Amino acid sequence: MNKRLLIFVLCLGVNLLALAYDVEINGIYYNLNNSTRTAIVTQKNYTNTSAYAGHVVIPEQITYNGVQYAVTEIGEWALRYSDVESVVIPTTITKIGERAFEGCHSLTKMYYNAVKCTVNSYWLKPLNLREVIFGEDVQSVPSGLFANAGKLKVVRFNAKNCRGGSMSSALGYNGSTGNWSTHIDSMFIGDSVLYIPSNLCYQMDSLHYVRMGQSVRVIGEYAFRACPRLTELELPPMLDSIMTGGLQALRGIKELHIPRSLRYVGLIGFSSTDSIRIHVEDLAAYAAITCEHDEASPLYNNYLYVGGQRVTDLVLPDTARTVGKYAFSGCLGLNSVTLSDSLRTIEEGGFYHLPNVQTIRLPEACEKVGKMAFYDCDSMRTIISDAVTPPQLEAQCFYRWFEYNYTGLYSRYNVLIGCSVDSLAYAANSSWAGYKFRKERPQVSVATAEGGMATGEGKYACDEWVTITAVADEGYTFVGWSDGDQTNPRLIQVDGDVTYEPLFAGSNPTGIHTEPSQAIKKAEKLMIDNHLYIRRQDGETYTIDGMHVIRL
């Protein structure tokens, strides 16, 4: 080689090593742009060996010769092959260059705070990065952010306002092959997070533990979709919405505890290959939930639990005013549904696809039965309405899918009208056109009682007069009915289902002493001075109304 050329090359190499950075401040090397007042983190020299070590905190800005520079970029090869063990990336970083952390074998933890940033797909290839902490100010997760962090196991996500990007793209998920380059085991959502971004953990097949912060209000679209190893998931107490597919296809999740704050569930918001046990804290609050549904989405295959007990006969509490959109759709374990007397509205699909429910009784307060409210309830044969003003029926609210699709017929139900309801009002309402109406025959029941029986039980026409008679066994005396009436035989006028219980007495004890009241337990009934008392199994005796204790 020409000696002059050799000398030129050697000098050029020396200059490259010497001029790799403009300034070093607190152990970090920078190139400065005086026109934009920005600084780029760079390498000390070409090899960069041991230029950085330990815990490296990159600042948001630096001051040099009295001038402030915003630190906006981590340059190509900046910390390459250094001994850095952990690093803090500030909010001001907008770009991370190629191979910036390549070969950082000691790097195990990273604090990522960049608000919005783009990364080169080869920027990070440390062999031992195990944990990443996202700061509160992060607004977007860059694609390919940790695509080559093969041993990354733990992500702590504290971003309060993150809406863009997803961990799927950040972690190098290849949708065409279904392969991950990163295998995250645990995801911790910080207590300051209100919104879990869409696709945050989409198809993370290694994820088995998620801890959501207590302040989370929204689980974004497909946030935890198809995480097969996730077996336990506790929903936060202030959760308001689960967006489309937010908890879809979680094969390992067998039960979910729904907080009373939940108001909205998007399409296939929570569903799985198998059934899910839905534990409800507040049944009235859950009844008012809004759930989205379309024909292309699978039904929720749910079993409902309240207070830890599986519900087969659903009785809505008096506080329930509304059944929300598809609130109880696909609750396959329900055999019957009793609506609250105060219920006003059943929204679209409220009781969609309940194959075992045979009868529904609309309460007096009911004003509307929404579209497909009882769609595909193929066992339903009886509708009873106590509403004096006919509720407005929307399209296909009582529609038997099986019957129509296998017979080509869509028959209208026979509707039983309560005793206080005028059937002509229903006949004149266009939304009830095609239904047949008749007055129901209420059930008069007489309860069994120790010491005797009663006659007169049966179904009767509305306003019919019926006689019920109490008959005492030998050694017992009839003392009255459970509602306080002592007439026997007794004439009643039928105006709805009703139960009467006869009361009998069998002895007349003496030596009575009164004390403060206690709860009445199952006991025998007896007469004392022509007044009815109840004697418990432990020997304590009480007045029939339970107001005083009587000791023998």
Among residues 67, 92, 126, which one ends one of the domains? 126
CATH of the domain at 147: 3.80.10.10
Q: How many CA atoms lie within 13 A of 285 on its CB side?
A: 13
Tens of pLDDT along 101-115?
Answer: 888 899 999 999 999
Is 281 part of a structural domain of the chain?
no
Residue linked to tokens 């026109």: 35
Using a cut of 0.85, tell me whether the model's pTM lies above it: no
The answer to whether position 284 is within a domain reads no
Taking residue 546's Cβ as centre, other Cβ atoms within 10 Å add up to 12
Instruction: Give CA–CA dist 291/245, Å, rounded.
Output: 12
- Per-residue HEC secondary structure of 233-282 comes to CCCCCCCCEECCCCEECCCCCCEEEECCCCCEECCCCEECCCCEEEEECC
Residue type, 179: N
Q: Is 251 in the same domain as 325?
A: no
- Which of 440, 457, 477 marks a domain boundary? 440
Range of the domain at 238: 130-274
Q: Do residue 397 and residue 269 come from a single domain?
A: no
Amino acid symbol at 402 = F
How far is 490 from 468, CA to CA, in rounded Å?
Answer: 5
Phi, psi of 104 (to 5 degrees): -80, 80
> Domain for residue 217, yes or no?
yes
Domain shared by 307 and 422, yes or no = yes
Q: How many domains does the chain have?
A: 4
Per-residue pLDDT reduced to its tens digit, 361-395: 999 999 999 999 998 888 888 899 999 999 999 98
Give the contacts of 263 (CB within 8 A, at least 6 positions apart): 240, 241, 288, 289, 290
φ, ψ of residue 426 to 5 degrees: the values are -70, -40
pLDDT tens-place string over residues 38-48 = 999 999 887 66
Residue 145 sits in the same domain as residue 78:
no
Decide if 294 is inside a domain.
no
**Residues 33 and 39 sit within 8 Å (Cβ to Cβ):** yes
Average pLDDT on 25-31 reads 96
Pairing of strands 95-96, 67-74: parallel
* Residue whose tokens read 């029941």: 445
Tell me: do 263 and 314 sit in the same domain.
no
CB contact at 8 A, 248 and 228:
no
The answer on 146 and 56 residing in a single domain is: no
Q: Give the pLDDT confidence of 138-153 residue by residue, as tens digits.
A: 998 887 777 777 788 9
Least confident piece of the model among 20-24, 140-144, 289-293, 449-453: 140-144
Q: Check residue 299 and give its pLDDT.
A: 56
Residue 524, both tokens? 């025998």
104 and 134 fall within a common domain? no
DSSP 46: S
Do 544 and 520 share a structural domain? yes
Note whether residue 12 is domain-resident: no
Residues 171 and 203: beta-carbon distance below 8 Å? no
Across the range 61-73, mean pLDDT stands at 97
Mean of per-residue pLDDT scores for the chain: 83
